[in-house]
Amino acid sequence: MSLTLTPLQQIPLIHSGDNLVEIVLNAIEMSSLTLQDRDILVFAQKIVSKAEGRLVNLVTIKPSARAIELGKQSEKDPRLVELILCESREVLRTRPGTIIVEHKLGFVCANAGIDHSNVAGAGDSAEEWVLLLPSDPDRSAEKLRDEIQTKTGKRIGVLIIDSHGRAWRNGTVGVAIGLAGIPGLEDLRGRQDLFDFTLRITQVGAADELAAAASLVMGQAAEGMPVVHVRGFPYPLRDGSLRELIRPKDQDLFR
């Protein structure tokens, strides 16, 4: 097995309304690649959010009483906290610098995934812009996948990833937040290992493993390579969704 990840060059700064499909297909051509069946394209969340117009100017936000109180506890701008509350189902933990929430999409993350880094909006430089996650990343991935398949005639998968922290571990890693045409989980239960032992509980977070690998070659700062072409994914392509990767609350031992 050979897994090849190639970050695409010539991806410009993305703005609201930009056509990501045209931009990416042009970048594939300029990278001397040819899209094939079973290839996967991994998109950084930021460019999907920007293309979908998910930028918010904090100047426009009026914080609630709860946001003001949580802002004091977390030492965060209460306008930002108001956005965090709007994007969340539940606040789980708070400490200076961080608010841990259950996002409306179902996963647990810091600050509802709202980002200041590598974000710029139109207007005066004094304005304070932040970027929200896509409202429905699975749907975003599906639209990208369907349009690319229509234009190329190739059966592919699309993955949208973000950087998350993890319980008990330092550092951020890439995780899947939206997928189309690839498995979220690969269930190995019932298969035999090298010593003929039948696997009983093993389920591989295939989409998250690929997300981490793609994040490694994308970088986290000023690299400017927010799309990665993948060839050699070791599992069959199929319809998948973020729901496969979300652990039910009654099985979540960290809450």
User: What's the pLDDT tens digit per position in 100-154?
Assistant: 999 999 999 999 999 875 566 555 555 689 999 999 999 999 999 999 999 999 9
User: What is the pLDDT at residue 196?
Assistant: 76
Coil, strand or helix: which one is 169? strand
Max CA distance (Å), the chain: 65
Low-confidence stretches of the chain (pLDDT < 70) are: 117-127, 188, 220-223
Domain 4-50+134-246: CATH architecture, name and number where available = 2-Layer Sandwich (3.30)
β 55-57/129-131 pair status: antiparallel
User: What is the pLDDT at residue 245?
Assistant: 94
CA-to-CA dists, residue 27 to 3, 19, 42, 242, angstroms = 20, 13, 13, 27
Tell me if 207 sits within 8 A of 184, measured CB to CB: yes
* pTM for the structure as a whole: 0.91
DSSP characters over 61-87: ----HHHHHHHHHHT--HHHHHHHHHT
Burial of 118 (C-beta count, 10 Å sphere; 0-12/13-18/19+): middle
Q: Tell the residue number behind the tokens 């979540």, with chain if given.
A: 252
Q: Residues 55-131: name the CATH superfamily.
A: CofE-like domain (3.90.1660.10)
User: What is the pLDDT at residue 191?
Assistant: 79
Residues of the chain with CATH 3.30.1330.100: 4-50+134-246
Q: Tell the residue number behind the tokens 């995934």, with chain if given.
A: 113
Residues of the chain with CATH 3.90.1660.10: 55-131
